[in-house]
Chain A
Amino acid sequence: MNHYEVLAPELVLLGLAFALVTLELLFPQLRKDLVAYLTAASAIGVLVASAFFANRSDSFKDLIQLDNYTTFFRILFLGTAALLAIASAHLVRDKLSNAGEYYGLLLLGVIGATYMAAASELLTAYIALELLNFTLYVLVSFDRKDPRSGEAGLKYILLSAFASALLLFGISFIFGVTGTTSYAGIRHALEAGIGEYRGTLVVGLVLLLTGLGFKVAAVPFHMWTPDAYEGAPLPVTAYISIVAKAAGFALFLRLFSQAFMPVISDWRWMVALLAALTMVFGNLIALQQVNIKRLLAYSSISQVGYMLIAIAALSHDSATALLLHLGGYAITNLAAFIAIIAFYNATGGEEIRDFRGLAERHAGLAMTLTIALFSLAGMPLFAGFMTKFILFQAAAQHGLLWLSAFGVVTSMISLYYYLMVIRQMYVLKPRDGDGRLRVPLLTSAVLVVLALGIFFVGIWPTPLFRAAASATRLLF
């Protein structure tokens, strides 16, 4: 099955990435934000093209699947990359160098992420994972002038290499026990029975979970996250929080639902434990934060906790709920980060106290950020409530009621630290000397669309729900 058209969108992206890098080499005087818009446009172009792949089922040598699951994530990643490219335009132009590489790396990361979602074989999945990782290593340390950026990059790469090694060790054991690295093959081997090697398999699973847990920032493998989020340039932080996380979960979900279902009793409690720990720690430490990037880091850690519940309660319903939640989470995080980026571009502030009185300085920005934060907190009418509700419901139906209860309680705690920011914006008056802010028109337009998107998912989730359901149907 040499169906190269399965790979087509990513090959196009590859070409585009190199084109962007070359573009800057050849025309160094080119306006940097044009490069950004070019990136965004091409990403959207590929997005539209990949939509035509919907409802097709194909594979490239059984290594990479083309199905609704892949298409779902492709659209998610490309959309995120496009919007983040637009949002990065001014920041990259003013504060960073080597813009062409920046945008090229964005697109390369998307390739890695997509293949993480599409891989149906462990080696492919690993390569894709490392591809994404590499682009992130560079992107996180992209800011030469900020010492935090380099430090974040250092910690990230060393810990990530460490985690990859653990992951690989685990994969090697699974390979050893089952004799194959393809997901379907592993499942067959497990169903046929592995008898005395159960212990080895379990150790392999533990290591596998460690590696994946690192990627998605589950506690106790999360410690790289706050530093990486705070040190990286803002758009990169957004990129990690959405693309890396979603890709991690995509891989997680496909791997475990297709390969390890026969031994679910072995790993279910592990994932549940991770979920509980993550929810608790993420929310508790978030309460203490003063930097908004770090706050969002811990916030996304706690979101991971909720998402892990869906994996612990693995079933078609919970998988659908997970994808739905990822979709809503992507829109919400994009809204929050782009608002913060706009704020940073205008004022250079990234501490929570810098947001003082934002409601008076720029009502639209404050409103969008508030909407995004309320959605993250899970208030009704917003996307976060609807997706969390469906998630908890799916989990409760599969016997993990206690985990859902955890989720609800920790969600309540989370409201506090989101409100901390909202309070700064609305209740406190701006400091003397803080005037009105200007936000570029394109950014404002993007923010409006995203805010509407949050409400759309929150009030009428059916279209997204149906997309998620069709995406996960093939897994079960």
Chain B
Amino acid sequence: MVGMNAAWLLPAIPAGAFALLLLVRNFLPRKGDWVAIGAVTASFVLFFFVLHDLMTRLGPNFHGVSTGFTWLKIDNFVLRVGFFTDPIAIVMLAAVLVVSLMVHVYSTGYMHGDSRYGWFFTVLALFTAAMSTLVLADNLLLLYVAWELVGICSFLLIGFWWERQSAAEAAKKAFVTTRVGDVGLLIGVILLWKKVGTFDIQTVLHAATSGQIGHTYLTVALLFMLLGAMGKSAQFPFHVWLPDAMEGPTPVSALIHAATMVVAGIYLLARMLPAYMVITGLGTLIMVIGMITAIGAAVIACAQTDIKRIIAYSTLSNLGFMFVAMGAHALTGGMFHLLTHAFFKALLFLGAGSVIHAVETQEVGDLGGLWRKMPITMGTFVIACLANAGLPVFSGFFSKDLVLEGVMHGNTPYYVALLAWVFLSGIYTARLFMLTFFGPSRDHHRYEHAHESPPNMTLPLVVLAVLTLLAGWLALDSVGRALGFPGGVGEFVFVHEPEAYRFSFTVAFAATSAGLLGVLATMYLYWGGGPERARRFADYSPDVYALIRNKFYVDELYQAGINYGVLGLSHAVAWFDRYVVNDTGVNGTAQLTGWLGYRLKFLQNGKLPTYALAMIVGVLVMAIVALSMHS
């Protein structure tokens, strides 16, 4: 019976599709998009078998099943390709595979007619394989390799339309920013390997929790890994690449920059959580970083005018929220939010893509009143928005509630801050759908041309909307048990002990009120009069508005820091760099090497006696030195 031992197939099938597409996509009908879709579907179906097998084996002593093979063994340096299946991995895989499949189907419509259509699906297949490997990896080295691989896919896909300068720039920015974090991850991995002697994750975790790794050493290693997580999950101050990543095609934004790759950092934290829990203080650090990101991004989102940017900042904000969850050791809530967020955020992006596809603009200022023209898109979009705001019934409510529950215990100031965050989420979410779909249309020309998207694009929207509506109920024990799980999500994903879903009326009420307040207030602002009322609000304090509009000038700060801060230092450094490092060091070394080679080559003058002389000189020198060493 196919079970967890076949988990390696989950990344292998898309990898095979990638190889196939890489070589022969131009010879296949439709450039082979069906190969990619078929591969993801196969993995998706297989996923259910693996899940089933996992559920039959769940029990108090079950930690996960590992399968794999040894790739390289030189003395005591062992490289293993292994896959570890456990509830955490399953939850993430669900997110990855579902969204990936939806995006694949959606892209057949969105990317239709693109000159590099086949290449798009090739890289998508590679990404799915790499992401699945990352999730299932049982050792840190394999995880790192997969980590880098998804980074490369992200680079390729952000810069998919590389003829556009801004796209190429954005791809570079994403790659460089995450690279900085990746170095941290690698250092952390190596540090742990040196101490524990293996890359195997479960062994490392065991060593960490049983105190085999010194406190300081462990802290340093985990901090470095945190850098990697922060880079990939775009936490402050590494967040600058994510909004720019919107230059990529919208399906890419949905898959990579909302649902899967960006949550890799959170997944890493979830995996290593037992180790992080050993060091007090790390949790607080993570919560603070997450909080800054969450609230900062939410505020910025309120003043953006590009539809994808708004959603991007919303993603950033939710990533911060998940970071807070991990910092509070609320594994269940964090993973569950990861899952639900994947669904509704992907839905938001795909819906936005549907809009963009129809009206060919991304500026919210040009939209409006589209609900009449694109009902399915609107309907699914609103569902996603309400989930994002955390309103009851929708999945966002349940996942946020779980996290809030986890944070509340002993972390009251954070809890209050999170409530503010929920409020802000409500605001920007409502603003988003109000401006896009409701109110009078602001650009009649575009409005006339707007049309609902074809079924291959609306079907994924509907599927994701259904999931957004239903997935939340998995938090409840009764629902979980009905489906065959031992209980709600808390009984499935947990750190030390199962956590039954506690429904605290206070928490739920507080969160819902905050969210509703934000939504209704914004709806009021934008209803009927469109953005005028909002503009008056903005004009109320233009500086603050400008501040928010321009993302708190963080990008400019970086640029200025680079320009001025370094420039002041840089005159001296530049001089040093040009004359010492470059001319003397680099050019100089190159020239010296070349000159040396040039002079030396004339030693070989073609004359035999010279050659013989060289040999004798060698003999004499060696003999003299050897003999003098002995006497």
Interface residues of A (CB under 8 A from B): 154-155, 158-159, 162-163, 166, 198-199, 202-203, 205-207, 209-210, 213-214, 220-221, 223-224, 226-227, 266, 270, 273, 281, 284-289, 317, 390, 393, 413, 460-462, 465
Contact = CB atoms under 8 A, between A and B. Distances in A.
Contacts of B610: 223
A209 B625 CA distance: 14
Nearest to B608: A155
A226 B615 CA distance: 15
Contacts, number: 88
Contacts of B594: 287-288
Interface in B589-631: 593-594, 596-598, 600-601, 603-604, 606, 608, 610-612, 614-615, 617-619, 622-623, 626-627, 630-631
Nearest to A389: B74
Nearest to B614: A220
Nearest to A151: B606
Given A199-B631, A224-B611, A210 B618 contact: yes
Given A158-B608, A202-B627, A220-B614, A210 B597 contact: no
A266 B622 CA distance: 11
A214 B615 contact: yes
A284 B619 contact: no
A220 B608 contact: no
B543 interface: no
Given A284-B600, A465-B74, A159 B612 contact: yes
A224 B611 CA distance: 7
Contact count band on B: 20 to 34
Nearest to A397: B75
B449 interface: no
Contacts of A209: 622
Given A210-B619, A281-B600, A393-B74, 20 more contacts: A155-B608, A163-B615, A166-B619, A199-B627, A202-B626, A202-B627, A203-B623, A220-B617, A223-B611, A224-B611, A227-B606, A266-B626, A266-B630, A273-B622, A284-B593, A284-B597, A284-B600, A460-B71, A460-B72, A465-B74
B496 interface: no
Contact of A202 (B73, B603, B614, B630): B630
Nearest to A222: B614
17 contacts: A155-B608, A159-B612, A163-B615, A199-B630, A202-B627, A202-B630, A203-B627, A205-B626, A206-B623, A209-B622, A210-B615, A220-B618, A227-B604, A273-B622, A289-B601, A390-B74, A460-B72
Contact of B75 (A158, A213, A317): A317
Nearest to B74: A390
User: Which 6 residue pairs across A and B have the least CB separation, nearest first?
Assistant: A223-B611, A287-B597, A220-B618, A284-B597, A202-B626, A220-B614
Interface string B51-79: 00000000000000000000111110000
Contacts of B603: 223
A213 B619 CA distance: 11
Contacts of A273: 622
Nearest to B622: A206
B614 A223 contact: yes
A213 B623 CA distance: 14
Contacts of A163: 615
Majority secondary structure, B binding face: helix
A198 B631 CA distance: 10
Nearest to B620: A206
Contacts of B597: 284-288
B611 A159 contact: yes
A462 B74 CA distance: 8
Contacts of A286: 597
B615 A166 contact: yes
A224 B631 CA distance: 34
Contact of B608 (A159, A199, A288, A393): A159
Nearest to B596: A284
A224 B610 CA distance: 10
B593 A413 contact: yes
Interface of B: 71-75, 593-594, 596-598, 600-601, 603-604, 606, 608, 610-612, 614-615, 617-619, 622-623, 626-627, 630-631
A91 to B, nearest CB: 25
B452 to A, nearest CB: 47
A159 B610 CA distance: 11
A209 to B, nearest CB: 7
B73 A221 contact: no
A78 to B, nearest CB: 28
Contacts of A206: 619, 622-623, 626
A15 B619 CA distance: 40
Contacts of A203: 623, 626-627
Nearest to A200: B627
A207 B612 contact: no
A317 B73 CA distance: 13
Nearest to A390: B74
Contacts of B598: 288
Contacts of A221: 614-615, 618
A289 to B, nearest CB: 8
B593 A462 contact: no
A270 B626 contact: yes
A90 to B, nearest CB: 30
Contacts of B615: 159, 162-163, 166, 210, 214, 220-221, 223
A286 B596 CA distance: 11
A462 B630 contact: no
Contact of B601 (A154, A270, A288, A465): A288
Contacts of B74: 390, 393, 465
B310 to A, nearest CB: 42
A413 B594 CA distance: 10
Name which of B593, B600, B615, B627 has the most chain A CB atoms within 10 A of its CB: B615
B320 to A, nearest CB: 36
A264 to B, nearest CB: 13
A86 B594 CA distance: 38
A140 to B, nearest CB: 14
Contacts of B612: 158-159, 162
B72 A461 contact: yes
Contacts of A220: 614-615, 617-618
Contact of B604 (A162, A226, A413): A226
B239 to A, nearest CB: 32
Contacts of A465: 74
Contacts of A266: 626, 630
A273 to B, nearest CB: 8
Contacts of B608: 154-155, 158-159
Contacts of B604: 223, 226-227, 285
Contact of A270 (B71, B73, B622): B622
Contacts of B631: 199
A155 B605 CA distance: 12
A281 B617 CA distance: 16
B69 to A, nearest CB: 11
Given A162-B612, A202-B627, A462 B72 contact: yes
Contacts of B73: 462
Contacts of A226: 604
Nearest to B631: A199
Name which of A163, A284, A317, A462 has the most chain B CB atoms within 10 A of its CB: A284
B562 to A, nearest CB: 29
Contacts of A198: 630
A208 B368 CA distance: 89
A154 B619 CA distance: 23
A221 B613 CA distance: 10
B563 to A, nearest CB: 33
A227 B608 CA distance: 10
Nearest to A210: B619
A392 to B, nearest CB: 12
A184 to B, nearest CB: 25
A287 B591 CA distance: 11
A221 B616 CA distance: 9
Contacts of B626: 202-203, 205-206, 266, 270
